[in-house]
């Protein structure tokens, strides 16, 4: 069970959860999201002109506690 105290920089399963999420979304193995220290966030733009949509995928595993 994840508790409030586990969320943040000290979360013991953050690397395992990174791999699980990226594998689930079929991220290419050479993607910088597998090794970037700042998280697995990303954003994509789809469509053109007025039919454009911006999809933002934040990395909510990186919530810092103070």
pLDDT value at position 34?
Answer: 86
DSSP secondary-structure letter at 47?
S
Query: For the chain, what are the domain ranges?
Result: 12-60
How does pLDDT run across 21-62, given as a tens digit for each residue? 899 989 999 998 888 877 888 999 999 999 999 999 888 765
Q: Are 2 and 57 in contact (CB under 8 A)?
A: no
pTM: 0.59
Q: Are 8 and 17 in contact (CB under 8 A)?
A: no
Q: Tokens at residue 7, please?
A: 């969320």
pLDDT value at position 40?
Answer: 87
């Amino acid at each position: 069970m994840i508790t409030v105290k586990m969320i943040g920089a000290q979360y013991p399963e953050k690397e395992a959860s990174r791999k699980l999420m990226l594998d689930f979304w079929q991220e290419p193995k050479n993607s910088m999201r597998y090794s970037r220290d700042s998280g697995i966030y990303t954003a994509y733009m789809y469509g053109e002109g007025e039919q454009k949509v911006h999809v933002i995928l934040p990395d909510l595993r990186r919530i810092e506690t103070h």
